[in-house]
Amino acid sequence: MMRALVTGASGFVGKHLVEALRRAGAEVFCCGGPRDGGDYFPVDMRDVTTLERALAAGRPAVVFHLAAQTFVPQALESPLESYDVNAMGTARLAEAVHRWGGAPRIVFTSTAEVYGPRDPSEYPLREHLAPRPINPYGAGKAAAEAMLRAAERSFGLDVVIARSFNHIGPGQGEHFAVASFAAQLAGIARGASPQLLVGDLAAARDFLDVRDVVDAYVALARDGERGEAYNVCSGRAVAMRDILRELIGLARVPVEVREDPRRMRASETPLSVGDPSKLRDRTGWTPKVALTQSLRDVYESALQ
């Protein structure tokens, strides 16, 4: 039986990962933030001693490191805080694992934001491309990757990096675009004003259902090659306007779509699409949840 420790277990992706691991028969030690309470072991990514205590209590064979500041606009507003949690927090985790000495595999959830905008000839993005992030979130994750690679070479840590592209699904926070669209449409269906506020609808993204994302993390824990990075993506880019159109069709309500300047990013990447073949070839993983089904589940969750 796999013994797994999950940082960020109380978050959107973390909750889905814990469910997936338990379905697979794993024993899961769930770590949340310092104020989460309940069944979550409190961990502060700014305090290495809390990470050491978590490792001693959980005794994991695999550490899934999800805890992070994940919202790009928040990272733009507070870049030092984002760097401290995402980059230095990961360095503290590596130090805690090194001190503990239990030799767990670390599956680190990085992001497609490390690639930044690229020349059209470089799409779909592949893992050999050098990182060129253009926002603090991507820069912090790229730094965290470098820190983990250094810890692997210096201290022999077993690290696998998952570069996740955009993921969606039931339970995602409404500050993310697709969840925001669904929440606004659910409100309109309940009688709210028909105005629907949006950001840049021309941007195209590589979307995966969160349930496929966490299945990829489990597959990488089992079969990923030590020291390697893997894109977790579908290989297909979809424009935000098409996502919105699909959700409006599901909601079947009249809407008035309006651009909201507050939802526009100064450092927006117009296209993000990856090549998942390295992950597929190594682990056999393939997505199972169609985008239409994922969007349906997101909207039905917003209605509840």
Token pair listed for 132: 């060129």
Residue 36 has pLDDT above 90, yes or no: no
Q: Where does 59-209 have alpha helices with state H?
A: 72-77, 79-83, 89-100, 136-155, 177-189
Residue 82, CA atoms < 13 Å, CB-side half-sphere: 20
Whether 85 shows a pLDDT value over 70: the answer reads yes
Percent of the chain clearing pLDDT 70 (strictly above): 98
pLDDT at 267: 56
Is residue 29 very low, low, confident or very high in pLDDT (cuts 50, 70, 90)?
very high
Domain 177-202+237-271+293-303 has CATH 3.40.50.970: no
Q: What is the mean pLDDT of the chain?
A: 94
**How do beta strands 3-7 and 158-164 pair?**
unpaired
pLDDT at 164 over 70: yes
From 141, 123, 139, 146, select the one nearest 233 (Cα to Cα).
Answer: 123
Residue 233 has pLDDT above 80, yes or no: yes
Average pLDDT over residues 5-28: 97
Asked whether the domain spanning 177-202+237-271+293-303 has the same topology as the one spanning 3-168+207-235+273-287, the reply is no
- Give the whole-angstrom CA distance, residue 120 versus residue 282: 26
pLDDT of residue 266: 58
Give pLDDT, residue 76. Answer: 72
Compute the average pLDDT of residues 44-67.
97
Which H or E run includes 111? strand 105-111
Of 65-69, 74-78, 264-268, where does mean pLDDT reach its minimum?
Answer: 264-268
- Tell me the domain boundaries of the chain: 3-168+207-235+273-287, 177-202+237-271+293-303
Whether the predicted pLDDT of 269 surpasses 90: no
Instruction: Give pLDDT, residue 288.
Output: 97
pLDDT-derived band at 69 (thresholds 50, 70, 90) equals: confident
Domain 3-168+207-235+273-287 -> CATH class: alpha beta
Task: Judge whether residue 265 has pLDDT over 70.
Answer: no
**Taking the model in full, what pTM does it have?**
0.95
Given a cut of 70, is residue 263 above it in pLDDT? yes
